[in-house]
């Protein structure tokens, strides 16, 4: 059976894409090394209790946001607290400590293992599925107090990858997804239709933010991810930020607030 030319073209683009190799790996190793040691003597083998920023007004929505490799939920919780999302509850969990192959097997907070920094690198499918299931558990727990259609999920970098995978395969309707400086994991399975897609994608809204100067998850890779998402999601916004590296910025945080409140306004 002949293959779809658009799919073949996208695969070719993914395979041609390469990150900044040794430089990116060195930066990532140093960053997560410092972050890990700053955590003190943490050695938890399971996800810790999330940092929760409760709403100050009537609870109308919840955002569950996953941090990036080597980070914790505390920093992002502080960032969302500064957005004054008075009607939106923010839940920021911290992942388990795991050995990460990319960084020589060093243990650090990680949602799944990472083997390489290019699109054709081996992927930890088992770890990605387990992380998605852990996120699903958080969603179901939060759904005890508010409907899933009022729950946003999101994440930065590795955390964003988990959020995207979960949203595209979810068996429940979600309010939306916030995907920052990230990529779609197991992208070839989505492109080959080997994944059972969520029946709620027609109602899903996605916000993607990416720095043009990102040395770890290339801005080009973010654009390629956006193309794959656009084939599956009808409502998606992609915003680029000049001179922003593998991080966030005030304008991006402002855009996130506008995205959340455009879907669930504070009435």
String of DSSP letters for 134-191: HHHHHHHHHTTTS-GGGEEEEEETHHHHHHHHHHHH-SS--SEEEEES---TTHHHHH
Q: What is the mean pLDDT of the chain?
A: 85
Catalytic residue of the set 24, 110, 214, 248? 214
* Structure token digits, residue 236: 């998606």
Give the three-state DSSP class for 95.
coil
Residue 11 predicted with pLDDT over 80: no
Catalytic residue of the set 157, 170, 181, 248? 157
CATH of the domain at 246: 3.40.50.1820
Name the percent of the chain lying above pLDDT 70.
82
Of 99, 207, 105, the closest CA to residue 156 belongs to: 207
The pLDDT tens digits of the residues spanning 170-191 come to 999 999 999 999 999 999 898 8
Q: Domains in the chain: how many in total?
A: 1
The pLDDT tens digits of the residues spanning 54-112 come to 999 999 999 999 999 999 999 999 999 999 999 999 999 999 999 999 999 999 999 99
Residue with tokens 């795991």: 98
What distance in Å separates the CA atoms of residue 84 and residue 79, rounded to the nearest whole number?
Answer: 10
- Inter-residue contact 78 to 166 (CB < 8 Å): no
User: How many other CB atoms are there within 10 angstroms of residue 238's CB atom?
Assistant: 17
The pLDDT tens digits of the residues spanning 133-183 come to 999 999 999 999 999 999 999 999 999 999 999 999 999 999 999 999 999
The pLDDT assigned to 266 comes to 85
pTM equals 0.83
User: Is there a catalytic annotation at residue 157?
Assistant: yes
Assign 118 a pLDDT band (cuts: 50, 70, 90). Answer: confident
Beta bridge partners of 180: 156, 209
194 φ, ψ to 5°? -95, 5
Give the three-state DSSP class for 33.
helix
C-alpha to C-alpha distances, 132 to 37, 167, 197, 219, 260, nearest whole angstrom: 27, 9, 14, 24, 22
Residue 18 predicted with pLDDT over 90: no
Residue 22 predicted with pLDDT over 60: no
Summarize the chain as % helix, strand, coil (round to 5): 40, 20, 40
The pLDDT assigned to 143 comes to 96
Assign 47 a pLDDT band (cuts: 50, 70, 90). Answer: low
Find the domain containing 110 and state its range.
Answer: 5-263
What strands, in cross-sheet order, belong to the sheet with 48-53? 48-53, 88-94, 61-66, 151-156, 176-180, 205-211, 235-241
- Inter-residue contact 151 to 143 (CB < 8 Å): yes
Q: CA angle 168-98-72, nearest 5°?
A: 70
Residue 240 predicted with pLDDT over 80: yes
User: Which of 10-14, 82-86, 115-119, 185-189 has the lowest average pLDDT?
Assistant: 10-14
Beta bridge partners of 109: 97
Catalytic residue of the set 67, 187, 219, 246? 246
């Amino acid at each position: 059976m002949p293959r779809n030319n658009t799919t073949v073209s996208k695969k070719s683009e993914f395979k041609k894409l390469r990150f900044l190799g040794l430089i990116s790996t060195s930066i990532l190793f140093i960053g997560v090394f410092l972050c890990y040691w700053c955590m003190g003597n943490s050695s938890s083998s399971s996800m810790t209790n999330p940092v929760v920023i409760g709403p100050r007004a009537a609870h109308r929505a919840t955002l569950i946001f996953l941090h990036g490799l080597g980070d914790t939920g505390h920093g992002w919780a502080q960032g969302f607290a500064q957005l004054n999302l008075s009607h939106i509850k923010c839940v920021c969990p911290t992942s388990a400590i795991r050995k990460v192959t990319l960084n020589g097997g060093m243990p650090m907070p990680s949602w799944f293992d990472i083997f390489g920094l290019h699109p054709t690198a081996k992927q930890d499918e088992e770890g990605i599925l387990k992380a998605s299931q852990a996120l699903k558990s958080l969603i179901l727990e939060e759904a005890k107090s508010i409907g899933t259609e009022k729950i946003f999920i999101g994440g930065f970098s590795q955390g964003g990858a988990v959020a995207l995978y979960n949203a595209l395969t979810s068996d429940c309707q979600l309010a939306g997804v916030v995907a920052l400086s990230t990529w779609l994991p197991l992208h070839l399975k989505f492109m080959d239709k080997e994944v059972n897609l969520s029946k709620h994608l027609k109602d899903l809204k996605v916000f993607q933010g990416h720095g043009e100067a990102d040395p770890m998850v290339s801005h080009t890779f973010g654009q390629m991810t956006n193309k794959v998402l656009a084939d599956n999601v009808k409502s998606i916004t992609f915003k680029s930020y000049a001179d922003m590296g593998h991080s966030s910025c005030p304008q991006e945080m402002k855009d996130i607030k506008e995205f959340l409140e455009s879907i669930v306004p504070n009435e």
